[in-house]
Amino acid sequence: MAFNRPKKKLMEDDEVIVLNNVSKSYQAGVQALSNVNIRIKKGEFVFVVGDSGSGKSTFIKLLLRELVPTTGSIYILDYNLNKIKHRKVPKFRRNIGVVFQDFRLLKDRNVYENVAFAQRIIEVPSAQIRKNVPKVLATVGLAGKYKVKPGRLSGGEQQRVAIARALVNKPSIILADEPTGNLDPKNSMEIMKLLEEINEKGTTVIMVTHNKEIVNAMQKRVITLNKGVIISDVEKGGYNDEI
Amino acid sequence: MKFSTFFYTLWQGVKNIFRNKLFSLASVATISACLFLFGVFYSILANFQHIVKTAEEGVCVVVFFDEDITEERISEIGTMITKRPEVSKINYVSAEDAWNVFKDEYLGEYSDGFTENPLADCANYEIYLNDVSLQNALVTYLESVPGISEVKRSELTALTLSNANKLIGYVSLGIIGILLAVSVFLISNTVTIGIQVRKEEISIMKYIGATDYFVRAPFVIEGILIGLIGSAIPLGLIYFIYNRALNFVRDQFKVLSSLLNFLTVNDVYKMLLPICLGIGVGIGFLGSFSTVRKHLRV
């Protein structure tokens, strides 16, 4: 993987994500992000907040290498996302566990199969999958519901399954896109507690949200986007009321 | 790729068929319907072509020789004719053979009055062609061969059969082409709808870090299996119906079946079986392969 390793001066050893002057514009002429500079260290918990149209979705797509920046460069772990080849993208993505607002679980498969699915994809041997999946389901508090289909779970439980799926491959980074967007306040706080526990074990967590209460309660680093521009980046910050 | 991954994707392909029962059923039904029509038309056209071909095989050109020709020269001419590309076989009829056939057919007991062979100069070659449309070329050649006094042919029969053969060829191509185009259109639409339903699954797989192979393989296996089932059903149906139809024609229209020589179901299936299986599997493979491809750029 050394061929993709960014030069040291562009990325420090303790950094896992670096965005240098990243801009992204779409064909229709819409400028989604303008000169974004972000450096995220290993083990950080970062909120990315902003209204609709602020560029949050584009930010996530860039981190997942679903999009490439129009200008600027993105480095994640050992990968230069501007230069990574299409066939290397799957291997890169295995370093990032993604959690979506709408859970995106496979409805025709039970809890165990949904989590095991992520392990199958990275070709983990079956015997190892049988050990790993119950362990991760216990971590998210769903050990007793491994046979249940997602449709019979509450929203909070479904999101736990999605987190288990994101965690099972032991990613360096968890990218959560509005993970509490479909949940009530009680379930939201439980999910946040779970994400915090994951973060405390060393996984970098980046969470995109516009849930003011959660951001204010957690007192973590907060990056605020407005119309594609970073308007604030505060350590142990709260929700920016300017947006 | 690990063995376990290969078998996992294979098993997922099989399971996908049952996970999406309605879609699988619709796809199998579409492929079956298209290939059934294709098979029926193919069987009819293959029989037509066979009947025309059989009739063509009976058309021959007859050459007669100069009065003073030697047996050696007749033999030489025979060798020359056999070497011609348009000739399938030749049959030498000696003067004695010609007289014997004539006697048997027309004279019977009245032939006893003949002491000499009145057809002494009627030794000839019956020349059968590979393709009756080449008759003119052969006749031109034969007329230029020294030792041949007369060339007899049936131009009208040859022309009619040649035209019929061409017409059947064009009609076959046209109908089969249209049916194939309709099949591909219907099947690719069905596959597209099926993939739309599972776009979500593909995107989840891609976000988790699935390789293109891992995403594509179960869909392609599913497509191939659907194609295989979709072609096996009409093949089974046509086999059954063809035999029944053939027996019906033989029993009910005895005059027709004595005049026309129909192909057996095994003769038809020598071509129809690989074509149908090839089309079914090919469409299943290409349809799923190309449709999934569109969704891999996530």
pLDDT on residue B213: 87
3-state secondary structure of B148: strand
CB atoms within 10 A of CB A241: 7
Q: How many CB pairs under 8 A join A and B?
A: 47
Find out whether B220 and B285 touch, Cβ atoms under 8 Å: yes
Average pLDDT over residues B176-184: 77
Residues 6+ apart with CB under 8 A from A169: A94, A97, A118, A119, A122, B208, B209
Q: Which residue of A has its CA nearest to B16?
A: A108
What is the C-alpha separation between B2 and B95, in angstroms, rounded? 79
More confident residue, A18 or B50: A18
CB-based contacts of A238-243 (< 8 A; 24+ apart in sequence): A239/A49, A239/A212, A239/A215, A240/A49, A243/A49, A243/A50, A243/A51, A243/A54
Where does the pLDDT of residue A2 fall: very low under 50, low under 70, confident under 90, or very high at 90 and above? very low
pLDDT tens digits, residue range B48-61?
888 888 877 778 88
Lowest-pLDDT range, A92-106, B117-131, B238-252?
B117-131
| C-alpha to C-alpha distance for B34 and B231, rounded to whole angstroms | 9
User: For residue A25, what are the β-bridge partners?
Assistant: A31
What's the CA angle centered on A206, arms A202 and A211, to 5 degrees? Answer: 125
In this prediction, residues B255-279 reach a mean pLDDT of 87
Q: Phi, psi at residue A20, to the nearest 5°?
A: -110, 110
Q: Is the CB of A108 less than 8 angstroms away from the CB of B298? A: no
What is the rounded distance in angstroms from the CA atom of residue B69 to the CA atom of residue B149?
Answer: 10
Q: Using a CB–CB cutoff of 8 Å, tell me whether A130 touches chain B.
A: no
**Cβ–Cβ under 8 Å, residues A199 and A166:** no
Of A95-99, B95-99, B140-144, least confident by mean pLDDT is B95-99
pLDDT at residue B194 in the model: 66
* Residue A228: both structure tokens together: 């594609």
What's the confidence (pLDDT) of residue B119? 75
- In this prediction, residues B245-259 reach a mean pLDDT of 81
Q: CA-CA distances (angstroms) from residue A145 to A194, A195, B193, B231, B234?
A: 17, 20, 33, 42, 45
Over residues A7-16, mean pLDDT: 75
- What b/e readout covers A155-192, taking b as 16+ CB neighbours within 10 angstroms? bbbbbbbbbbbbbbbebbbbbbbbbbbbbeeebbbbbb
DSSP chain A: -GGGPPPTTTS-TTEEEEEEEEEEE-TTS-EEEEEEEEEEETT-EEEEE--TTSSHHHHHHHHTTSS--SEEEEEETTEETTT--GGGHHHHHTTEEEE-TT----TTS-HHHHHHHHHHHTT--HHHHHHHHHHHHHHTT-GGGTTS-GGGS-HHHHHHHHHHHHHTT--SEEEEESTTTTS-HHHHHHHHHHHHHHHHTT-EEEEEE--HHHHHHH--EEEEEETTEEEEEETT----TT-
Q: Are the Cβ atoms of A108 and B19 closer than 8 angstroms?
A: yes
In 3-state terms, what secondary structure has residue B128? Answer: strand
Quote the minimal CA–CA distance from B229 to chain A in Å.
Answer: 24
What tokens does B292 get? Answer: 């999934």
Write out chain B residues lying below 8 Å of A91, CB-based: 209
Per the DSSP assignment, residues forming a β-bridge with B277 are none
CB-CB: which of A87, A106, A123 is closest to B204?
A106
**How far apart are alpha carbons A85 and B11 in whole angstroms?**
30
Contact residues, B window 9-48, toward A, CB-based 8 Å cutoff: 19
- Residue A1 is predicted with a pLDDT of 46
Contact A138, A113 (CB under 8 A): no
DSSP conformation class of B107: I
Closest chain A CA to residue B203: A104
Q: What is the pLDDT of residue A230?
A: 95
Q: Round the CA-based radius of gyration of chain A to a whole number and report it.
A: 18
How confident is the model over A189-217, as pLDDT tens digits?
Answer: 999 999 999 999 999 999 999 889 999 99
CA distance B197 to B213: 20
Distance CA A152, CA A131 (A): 25
Determine the residue among B1, B207, B297 to mutate to test chain A binding: the one whose Cβ has the most chain A Cβ atoms within 10 Å. B207
Alpha-carbon span A151 to A40, nearest angstrom: 36
The shortest C-alpha distance from A106 to chain B (Å) reads 7
Mean pLDDT of A130-147: 94
| Residue A123 touches partner B, C-beta closer than 8 Å | yes
Q: Encoding tokens for residue A197?
A: 């526990």
Place of tokens 């604030």: A232
The better pLDDT of the pair A43, B13 is held by A43
Q: Does A165 touch chain B (CB under 8 A)?
A: yes
For A103-107, A214-218, A219-223, B6-10, which range has the lowest pLDDT when averaged over its residues? B6-10
The minimum CA-CA distance between A94 and chain B, rounded to whole Å, is: 5
Chain B residues within an 8 Å CB radius of A161: none
Q: Are B75 and B133 in contact (CB under 8 A)?
A: no
Please compute the mean of the pLDDT values over residues B141-149 and round it to a whole number: 89
Contact B190, B30 (CB under 8 A): yes
In whole angstroms, give the CA distance from residue B12 to residue B293: 18
Q: Which one of A85, A96, A123, A128 would you mutate to disrupt binding with B, by most B Cβ within 10 Å of its Cβ?
A: A123
**Would you place residue B120 in the very low, low, confident or very high pLDDT band (cuts 50, 70, 90)?**
confident
| C-alpha distance from residue A23 to each of A39, A58, A69, A176, A226 (Å) | 15, 10, 6, 22, 14
Cβ A239 vs Cβ A216: under 8 Å: yes
B5 — contact with chain A (CB < 8 Å)? yes
Q: Indicate if the pLDDT at residue B227 is higher than 80.
A: yes
- Which tokens sit at B104? 């048997």
**Separation in Å, CA of A96 to nearest CA in chain B:** 8
Question: CB A104 to CB B212 under 8 A?
Answer: no
Residue A242 at interface with chain B, using a CB cutoff of 8 Å: no
Which residue, A140, A146, A33, is CA-closest to A97? A140
A85 touches chain B (CB under 8 A): no
What pLDDT score does B277 carry? 93
Indicate the pTM of the whole model.
Answer: 0.70
The per-residue pLDDT for A202 is 94
| Residue from the list A64, A117, A125 with its beta carbon closest to the beta carbon of B4 | A125
pLDDT at B22 over 50: yes
Q: Does B156 touch chain A (CB under 8 A)?
A: no
Nearest Cβ partner for B8 among A66, A104, A120 = A120
Average pLDDT, chain A: 91
Residue A8: pLDDT band (50, 70, 90) is low
Average pLDDT over every residue of B83-94: 88
